[in-house]
Amino acid sequence: MPIISFKKPSSHKSFEVIKGTPLMKALLGQNIPVASSCHGEGVCGKCKIRIIDGHSNLSLETQLEIDLRNKNKITSEFRMSCQTLVLGDITIDTDYW
Ligand code: FES
CATH number reported for the structural domain that contains residue 66 in this entry: 3.10.20.30
Question: Residue 56: what pLDDT?
Answer: 98
Distance CA 45, CA 59 (A): 17
Is this prediction's pTM over 0.85? yes
The DSSP bridge partners found for residue 91 are 5, 53
Domain count, the chain: 1
Please report the atom of ligand 1 found closest to the CA of residue 36: 1
pLDDT tens per residue across span 32-79: 999 999 999 999 999 999 999 999 999 999 999 999 999 999 999 999
- Give the Cβ contact number of residue 44 at 10 Å: 17
Ligand 1 neighbourhood includes 40 CB (under 6 angstroms): yes
Distance 47 CA to ligand 1 centre (A): 5
Please report the atom of ligand 1 found closest to the CA of residue 83: 4
DSSP per residue over 35-92, as a string? Answer: --SSTTSS-S-TTEEEEEE-GGGBPPPPHHHHHHHHHTT--TTEEETTT-EE-S-EEE
**First-to-last CA distance in the chain?**
24
Domain extent at residue 29: 3-93
